[in-house]
Amino acid sequence: MVRFGTGGGRAIIADEFTKANIRLLTAGLCSQMLEEGLEGREICVGYDRRFLSKESAHWAAEVFCGYGFRVYMINRSSPTPLIMFTIKQRQMPYGIAVTASHNPAIYNGIKVFTAGGRDADKTVTNRIEKQMESICPEDILSIDYDRALEQGLVQEANPTNAYIDSILSSIDVEAIKNAQLRVALDPMYGVSETCLSIILMTCRCDVSIIHSRHDTLFGGKLPAPNEDTMGPLSAVVLDRYRCDLGIATDGDADRLGVIDDLGRFVHPNKLLVLLYYYLVKYRGWQGPCVRNNSTTHLLDKVAEGLGQKCYEVPVGFKYVSAKMTETGAIIGGESSGGLAVKGHISGKDGIYAAALLVEMLAKTGKKLSELYQEILDTYGELSYKEADFTMTPQRKAELQSLLFEKLACPDFDREIDHISREDGVKTYFKDGSWVICRFSGTEPLLRMAAEASDASVAQGYIDRWKAFLQL
């Protein structure tokens, strides 16, 4: 059975990602909606470019129709934020996206969204899982997709224009036109090309695109915009025509990766800080910001310097978006590349974040490298280090017992302020540095991150954890 993690339910294709489990998960959601008195409501279903994504979306639609719901089927592979936007715009109570986001090609999955286009929180996903446990697969109701389409139970549509128009109305198109920027784009064989290229070309950017074809294997690489995967984009930026910016998105376009004007990878931590700084200092917005517990504390320093507050939440964008709503925050993000901005959708959107980044360059008249240096000159620099370790189920169980039952933790050579086990084990030091060790909610990985004013100190924290856990 597909279980929900920090970013929806994901599993290896033909292992736990199967037709039977997709039908079961959908039936569980249907049962939950019926208990909530949502009979006959319209539900959005969308999908990405992964193997079996379209077919899986149709299997889910068949079950929705079997339980009496109407399906608004986005009839082409689409960015996850477009699906979330559609749920919000059409005031639907729920919706799903068939995607495994940035996971390797052998994975697929389902993200569930609630009213307003929000990521389903743990309360919702726990209820769905409980419903699934009581359903007999042979009793699941369904209607053949083509028959449901003929009967009007399924409406196939393409809401791309509405989504693109909403982004264009939120940015300064004329300023971008006047800047005449050169932008390199890498959709990473995913679903962002159409939306991003239209937005950029409408703004009269000179756009160079790589890795745009439909490839369910993502060119044999991980569809995640990180330093290891963005070398080809850096090469395009540094081509003889020299681009102002390189933009990459992950498999379902909810995460953003960036190459600056010098061909350097810009860590998502920096992007979050840059955009928050821009919104407050240059756009004149006022309000707090939100980050997860594995994301840079430089954001806290910038917020404090601008007279604002930064809130920390566990990993998982559902926590970020919930805290943004609670506090009225103007931006929220994660070190993995997810960003959300107030006034758009209540979730991460790599396409909107990219458009806002282009506007930032146009309106400030500064290079990305210059803007970040402006921040460092004002607030100082923090060094961020991270590392991932593959875990077998047995090894994970051993370490979970060690960390959360025995409450074990390495000895560090500096004064500790406090330790949190809300999400993993995060040690906060008196000098403002920190280190976290936590299990991924989407992959069989143990993740570590650390930050300090000195790079060797941050790396030392990770090395201490590695030695302690014998990794």
pLDDT 10s digits, 393-423: 999 999 999 999 999 999 998 999 999 999 9
- The residues, ordered by sequence, that sit 6+ positions from 217 with a Cβ below 8 Å of its Cβ are 105
Neighbours of 1 (CB within 10 A): 14
* pLDDT recorded at residue 4: 80
Neighbours of 262 (CB within 10 A): 13
Contacts of range 257-260, beta carbons closer than 8 Å, 24 or more positions apart: 257/186, 257/224, 257/225, 257/226, 257/229, 257/230, 257/233, 257/337, 258/225, 258/357, 258/368, 259/184, 259/230, 259/233, 259/234, 260/367, 260/368, 260/369, 260/372
Intrachain domains 4-158 and 163-379 with the same fold: yes
Please answer whether residues 254 and 101 qualify as being in contact, where contact means their C-beta atoms are separated by less than 8 angstroms: yes
* pLDDT recorded at residue 411: 92
* pLDDT recorded at residue 336: 85
> What residue spans define the domains of the chain?
4-158, 163-379, 383-469
- On the question of pLDDT at 36 being above 70, the answer is yes
- The residues, ordered by sequence, that sit 6+ positions from 215 with a Cβ below 8 Å of its Cβ are 49, 189
CA angle 293, 296, 297 (to 5 degrees): 85
- The residues, ordered by sequence, that sit 6+ positions from 140 with a Cβ below 8 Å of its Cβ are 23, 24, 27, 63, 66
Superfamily of domain 163-379: Alpha-D-Glucose-1,6-Bisphosphate, subunit A, domain 3 (3.40.120.10)
The CA distance from 25 to 461, in Å, is 41
**First-last CA distance in the chain:** 30
What three-state secondary structure class fits 456? helix
Neighbours of 459 (CB within 10 A): 15
Contacts of range 301-308, beta carbons closer than 8 Å, 24 or more positions apart: 301/379, 301/380, 301/382, 302/273, 302/276, 302/277, 302/375, 302/379, 303/276, 305/378, 305/379, 306/277, 306/280, 306/281, 308/280
Tens digits of residue pLDDT in 194-231: 999 999 999 999 999 999 999 999 999 889 999 999 99
Mean pLDDT of 305-319: 94
- On the question of pLDDT at 32 being above 80, the answer is yes
The token pair that represents 351 in the structure block: 């396409």
The CA distance from 257 to 246, in Å, is 8
- On the question of pLDDT at 285 being above 90, the answer is yes
> What is the overall mean pLDDT for the chain?
95
| Mean pLDDT lowest among 73-77, 142-146, 188-192, 438-442 | 438-442
CA dihedral angle for residue 281, residue 287, residue 292, residue 293, rounded to 10 degrees: 90
Percent of residues, the chain, with pLDDT higher than 90: 91
Confidence of residue 317 (pLDDT cuts 50, 70, 90): confident
Rg (CA), the chain: 22
Please answer whether residues 272 and 333 qualify as being in contact, where contact means their C-beta atoms are separated by less than 8 angstroms: yes
* pLDDT recorded at residue 122: 85
Domain 4-158 grouped into CATH 3.40.120.10? yes
What three-state secondary structure class fits 112? strand
- On the question of pLDDT at 7 being above 80, the answer is no
CA angle 177, 181, 184 (to 5 degrees): 130
- On the question of pLDDT at 375 being above 80, the answer is yes
* pLDDT recorded at residue 245: 96
> Looking at the domain that runs over 383-469, which CATH code has it been given?
3.30.310.50
- On the question of pLDDT at 65 being above 90, the answer is yes
* pLDDT recorded at residue 8: 76
Tens digits of residue pLDDT in 130-140: 999 999 999 99
Mean pLDDT of 104-127: 93
Tens digits of residue pLDDT in 321-362: 889 999 999 999 999 888 999 989 988 999 999 999 999 999
* pLDDT recorded at residue 1: 62
* pLDDT recorded at residue 6: 64
Q: What is the DSSP letter of 136?
A: -
Please count the residues of the chain.
471
Measured between alpha carbons, how far is residue 247 from residues 197, 222, 258, 265, 449 in Å? 11, 16, 5, 10, 24
pTM tops 0.85: yes
